[in-house]
Amino acid sequence: MTRSYQFAADAVLLIHAGIVVFILFGLVLILVGGLKGWAWIGNKWFRLTHLAGIMIVVFQAWLGIYCPLTILEMWLRQQAHSASYQESFIQFWVQRLLYYDVPLWAFAVAYTIFGALAVMCWFRFPSNHRPK
């Protein structure tokens, strides 16, 4: 049973990492694609999902709420009786990419700036943006 909790925790961590990659690189693609006139960056669902994702992160940071995926992962690791020295390969590397030891206010500021940039891109390169 312990292994299944560990596996589930690693799966949640990978999903979390995927969402982070989508939000970070999604904005880069929107900026570059908007400047280069790539039609696909105007996809309404891509843009709405991206904007909603970063806005959720911003609101959680300002409200001091931990990400539900982080909470779920921690709970699963507790159920697996996982100690920090018994990390799986996935946990070891992905956590080093996702988690940093800085004050929570620093995350709130960084997320707010990132969110503001995403909102500015929404208006600069609207979801119906097409190359000229």
Q: How many folded domains does the chain comprise?
A: 1
pLDDT at 105 over 90: no
Distance, in Å, from the CA atom of 37 to the CA atom of 31, rounded to the nearest integer, reads 10
Could you report the per-residue pLDDT of 57-75, keeping only the tens digit for each? 999 989 988 889 988 988 9
Determine, yes or no, domain membership for 132.
no
The domain in which residue 101 lies consists of: 2-124
Q: Which residue has the higher pLDDT, 128 or 116?
A: 116
pTM: 0.79
Q: Where are the alpha helices (DSSP H) in the chain?
A: 2-36, 44-63, 68-79, 89-98, 104-124
Could you report the per-residue pLDDT of 39-56, keeping only the tens digit for each? 999 999 999 999 999 999
